[in-house]
A and B are shown apart, each in its own frame.
Chain A
């Protein structure tokens, strides 16, 4: 650690506290595994510490963290070359829902976890981080048209599956 970084360590600790929820949640929703998400989030912050000198502003840090977390999540799944998680095999979320309809939230998280990797990350960035399709395209370095079509397709799939499993009354 350089002297500059040592001096900036309190700032780094503050950055971790400010962004830990965002990074952990992206990984948690993508991997559907709290322990793996925690480990991956820690790795992201270690990488942030190593690259702190290249980041100029708070907005840059936020953008960088989303981008690195998204790519690390996708790489993590690719490295393990796990088969696509089927809806039935998707793990039950361990967190308690804070919505009025916990059953629907749980089912939606399961359904999102069963999507292919890129569409899954697009959904997480859209509905967790509330990013626009432009921002998602920039974060994942993919064409805007791909983001829009993947969003529409994923929403159609989710709507069909939710309707089938919970019933049209639920939504």
Chain B
């Protein structure tokens, strides 16, 4: 087989391939079916048109809500710790006051005892002098 025959055969084969692989018509109402597949997407959008749903599905709003909730939780935790700390401080001050009162009470008791003792000594001396 010479090159000229080869080229000729190739050309004939290519022509036959173009015939065999020519475009075919799409099935009837193909476009209608494609467009019909687009329609069911609409109800989903209707759902998203609900004002509250639409509002809370916006990314910025979702992030803002997340930030607010996080800030509230952190704030609440800090506030709780502050209350606990103040309560502990109050308890300590109360204990200190009680201790101070106990000390003052015992000192007062000692002073009273001393005064009574002096008074008792004084009256005993006076009675001795009167006897003499």
Q: Which residues of A contact B (CB under 8 A)?
A: 1, 9, 12-13, 16-17, 20-25, 28-29, 34, 38, 41-42, 45-46, 49, 95, 97-99, 101, 104-106, 108-109, 112, 123-124, 127-128, 130, 155, 158-159, 162, 171
A73 CB → nearest B CB, Å: 14
Specify which of B16, B20, B41 lies most central, judged by the most chain A CB atoms within 10 Å of its CB: B20
Q: Given A1-B45, A16-B34, A45-B34, check contact A24 B27 (CB 8 Å).
A: yes
| B17 at the A interface (CB under 8 A) | yes
Say whether B31 contacts A20, CB under 8 Å. yes
Q: Given A99-B19, A105-B19, A124-B21, check contact A21 B26 (CB 8 Å).
A: yes
- What are 15 of the A-B contact pairs (CB < 8 Å)? A13-B35, A20-B26, A21-B26, A24-B25, A25-B24, A41-B26, A45-B34, A95-B24, A98-B22, A99-B16, A106-B20, A108-B17, A109-B20, A112-B20, A127-B14
Interface residue count for B (Cβ, 8 Å)?
Answer: 27
A162 CB → nearest B CB, Å: 7
A residues in contact with B10, CB < 8 Å: 155, 159
Assembled-state Cα–Cα distance A106/B17 (Å): 10
Assembled-state Cα–Cα distance A119/B19 (Å): 18
A residues in contact with B20, CB < 8 Å: 97, 99, 104-106, 108-109, 112, 127
Q: Which residues of B contact A (CB under 8 A)?
A: 9-10, 12-14, 16-27, 30-31, 33-35, 37-38, 41-42, 45
Q: Which 9 A-B pairs have the closest CB atoms?
A: A108-B20, A99-B19, A105-B20, A20-B26, A24-B26, A127-B17, A128-B21, A16-B31, A25-B23
Assembled-state Cα–Cα distance A106/B21 (Å): 10
